[in-house]
Structure 1
Amino acid sequence: MRIRALAATSVLALTIMAPQAMAEVKFGALYPFSGPLALLGEESARGLEIAVDEINAAGGVQGEQVVLARGDAVDPNQAIGEARRLISLENVKAVFGTYSSSRSMAASQVAELSGIPYFELGAVADDITERGFTYVYRTNPTADSMAKLIVKMLVDKVAPALGKEPGDLRIGIIHEDSNYGTSVAGHQEDYGEEAGLNIVSVQGYPASIVDMSSIVLSLKEANVDVVLQTSYQNDSVLFLQQANEAGLKPAAIVGGGGGYSMMPTAEAVGTDLIEGVLDADFTQYAVNTDFTPGLEDFVAAYRDKYGSDPRSGHSLNNYVGAMAILQALDEADGLDPDAILKAVNAIDIENGTTAAGYGIKFGDGNQNERAFMMGMQWQGGKLVTVYPDDAAVAEMAITQ
């Protein structure tokens, strides 16, 4: 009897002393983790992962540790299937994503019909927040923001540097033909017309294109001064290489989007071809940090977690958006959809107070009305911020 009593006491003591597992709350992380957009999809997801690490280290969301269930949005159809799986089988409280506009358009509709909040942290097509959806929110700037910034750079900086009036510039617009590229190019035409720019060519192409020689030739024959390209990585590299081979040398190339903001693109084409190329995109890392408080801490966390420098500003912008949402949810009255929406609608973060520079406040269509893009240029093998002036760390360099 004595042995049994001791054994029972020991078991009871072990039970009392054993640490209790912390409760968990699950969210979806829906990105293209494989396929042609995997590089920036994975880079975007890393920003969300760092935000989760930070919120968990601070106690989690409402005392529960955040767990991410991954969904691989290889293409729009797969994005739909993965969104359904995350919602119905993984029982996520909300979905974060998605980087690609076409995939976001498809997956967010599933979330809307299911009454599950969907937080877009990186896709820019205007349509995402123009459908009147209740449960879909976007923290990042849009295609409209990108096009507006590009036109302002042409008018304010590029034309004066070339000693020309904006209307004297011959502009060629090329773009991949999904929601993303089409949205940006359409706004470039509209804003360009308002600014009196001379747009001589507009051409779309599939992002999977393997030969752009005919597009390059047409731009050369049009004697363009400036080429605007909205693209992913592969088509950015292809255009720069084939333009060089054909002797197309515009006074300025202005990229819009992930392809032009990535170090792997610069490595693929070489420093000579990328030098002087402009880019309008999410906040990058060579920027006035007085304007982007917390950016250096993010870079340090990225290096600690992944063993390298960030490959693009997509991770930074996903981090900023995710942190704002997760911090708001920590203050929510529960995690049912209505409580989540109430907490998110109350977010009011001023410009100049986040690592991306822009603040967060949701307006019409649940779009972050404070989000904006910046202008960068490849100089000496680095992508440095050159526009607007209060965020710049270098002067824009344009040579004829």
Structure 2
Amino acid sequence: MKKILSLIMICFLLLLSACSGSNQASGDDKSSKVLKIGAVFPMSGGLALLGEESYRGVELAIEQRNKNGGVAGGKKVELVKGDAPDADAAQSEANRLINKENIKTIVGSYSSGIAQAASEVTERNGVLFWEYGAVADSITDRGYKYVLRTNPPASYLSKKHIEFIKNYLAGKLGKSLGDLKVAIAHEDSSYGTTIADEAVKLAKKEGINIVTVQPYSASSNDLSSVVLNLKKAQPDVLIEVSYLNDGILLQRQSQELGLKVPVIVGSGGGHDMADYIEGVGDSGNGIFDVAFPQYQINHEFTPGMEDFVKLYKAKYGEEPRSGHSLVHFMGTNVLLDLIDKVGEIDPDKLRAAAMKYKVDPGKTVTGWGVKFDSKTGQNTLSEPYVHQWVNGKLLAVWPEKVAVQEPQLNPNK
């Protein structure tokens, strides 16, 4: 009798095991309901302020999508974060996410150096890398199969600088392009160098005179030599490409050393942060900024902007600090749309779907359209806009489709 009972118990346990295995195979376990996405951002170190701001946009997009039912028939998306304060850490964190967390797509990263390093790892491993904020053209110009970028590259920013000078500033300053004197001061990483080099090329084509180009290290604590060289060149327009701390230092020392330039035009980075105008005070009033879309902008061209600001304030208890969170929110929503369509995180399927994904300009929260170039993975319908600091607010002023106010020139600056 004991033997019979033992056999019955063994058969019962085997049956339970088989049923359990059947449930797991059919995808009823918890893991099948969660899709993981990796995130590589500088959350510590000198780039942490904008790194965190950028990450917040990704976080908000995923939280909102999960709250509204998830993707691919109710699956939730989980964000697995990696802190990458520099290029070495970016490679290390990308490797960890891929090999230990089994991540198949990684988003990032705001910084060009970090994006370059992380995407080299993802490309070798056949993992999709989505860039939402870094601008170096080389990120998408390397011909990598598994890199996609939603934001405009540096060359698009340079193009907007020259278009603004050619089509607006020259006339307002009463000068021909050939008589206009333009100077460039830029931090010397891939971010600043790419924008500066491309601006020089485009200016030459237009017959615009670049009177001096002043590179410097973003970690410098003294930019007086840069300021004195700019003062000697006497430009009508100064293009600045800076991160936050060096941008503030450059403006402060320009005031101390008596540099007066009729028009200063920043290039995103530090110039579009609230911390910038707090750091430079009244001397920042009137400075232009070619940058990602900010919040004082034509909301008819950027639908969903007000909702994003409400989401941001509800979660973080403050106003957005920069448009970097906004563009990362937009880019993440593109990825989530594609995951919803494909039904899984498969790099090849997602890339193929991305090539067919189309959105017209004026239909996203940034105002950008979406159309990926099949060779580079670059979104060709993204673009920067011209903003201006006016009474402590960064207003979109050019082109007209995004403007909430006309550009205001201050020749006494």
> Are 2:305 and 1:274 aligned?
no
Aligned mates of 2:254, 2:344 — CA distance in 1: 55
Q: Which residue of 1 aligns with 2:403?
A: 392
Q: Deviations over 1:231-290 (max 9, x none)?
A: 1111100100000000001001110022110001111111x1110000000011111111
Deviates more, 1:132-141 or 1:193-202: 193-202
- Measured after TM superposition, the shift of residue 344 of structure 1 is 2.0
TM-score, normalized by length of structure 2?
A: 0.90
Residues 33-78 of structure 1 show CA distances to partners (whole Å, capped at 9, x for unaligned) of 0111101010011111111012111222223211111111101111
- Displacement of 1:145 in angstroms is 0.6
Q: Does 1:85 align with 2:78?
A: no
Match of 2:213 in 1: 202
- Which residue of the other structure, out of 345, 368, 385, is the alignment partner of 1:335? 345
* Secondary structure of 1:331 counterpart: helix
Letter in 2 for 1:30: V
* Unmatched tracts of structure 2, length 5 or more: 1-27
Structure 1 residue 227: deviation in Å?
Answer: 1.1
Q: Give the deviation of 1:393 after TM superposition.
A: 0.4
Q: Say if 2:332 is the partner of 1:322.
A: yes
Partner of 1:231: 242
SS in structure 1 at match of 2:345? coil
Q: Does 1:217 align with 2:208?
A: no
- For these two proteins, the number of residue pairs brought into alignment is 381
Which residues of 2 match residues 113-262 of structure 1 at below 5 A?
Answer: 113-262=124-273
Query: Per-residue deviation at 1:226?
Result: 1.5
Please tell me whether residue 29 in structure 1 is matched to residue 39 in structure 2. yes
Q: For 1:314, what is the secondary structure of its paired residue?
A: helix
Letter in 2 for 1:185: A
> Residue 46 in 1 paired to residue 53 in 2?
no
| Distance of 1:394 and 1:200 partners within structure 2 | 30
User: How big is the shift at 1:345?
Assistant: 2.0
The residue that corresponds to 2:17 in the other structure is: none
Tell me, yes or no, if the aligned pair for 1:162 and 1:399 is still in contact at 8 Å: no
Once the two structures are overlaid, the 10-residue window that deviates more, 350-359 or 164-173, is: 164-173
What is the deviation of 1:24?
1.2
Extract structure 1 runs of 4+ deviating beyond 6 A: none
Q: Distance in 2 between matches of 1:191 and 1:307?
A: 42
Amino acid at match of 1:122: G
**Counterparts of 1:87 and 1:45 in 2: how far apart (Å)?**
19
Give the TM-score taking structure 1 as reference length. Answer: 0.93
* Amino acid of the structure 2 residue aligned with 1:168: D
- Which amino acid counterpart does residue 273 of structure 1 have in structure 2? S
- The 2-side partners of 1:112 and 1:358 are apart by 26
Measured against aligned partners, the alpha-carbon deviations of 1:148-173 in whole angstroms (never above 9, x if no partner) come to 10111111222212111122221111
**CA distance in structure 1 between the aligned counterparts of 2:338 and 2:30, rounded to whole angstroms:** 24
What SS does the corresponding residue of 2:321 show, helix, strand or coil? coil
Q: Which amino acid aligns with 1:55?
A: R
Mapped contact 2:35–2:345 kept (Cα < 8 A):
no
Identity %: 45
SS at match of 2:342: coil
Q: Which runs of 5+ in 1 are unaligned?
A: 1-18
Q: CA deviation at 1:333?
A: 4.5
| Residue pair 2:330, 2:366 contacting (<8 A) in 1 also | yes
Q: Residue type of the partner of 2:266? A: G
Q: Aligned letter for 2:78? A: V
> More deviation in 20-29 or 165-174?
20-29
RMSD: 1.3
**Aligned mates of 2:177, 2:57 — CA distance in 1:** 38
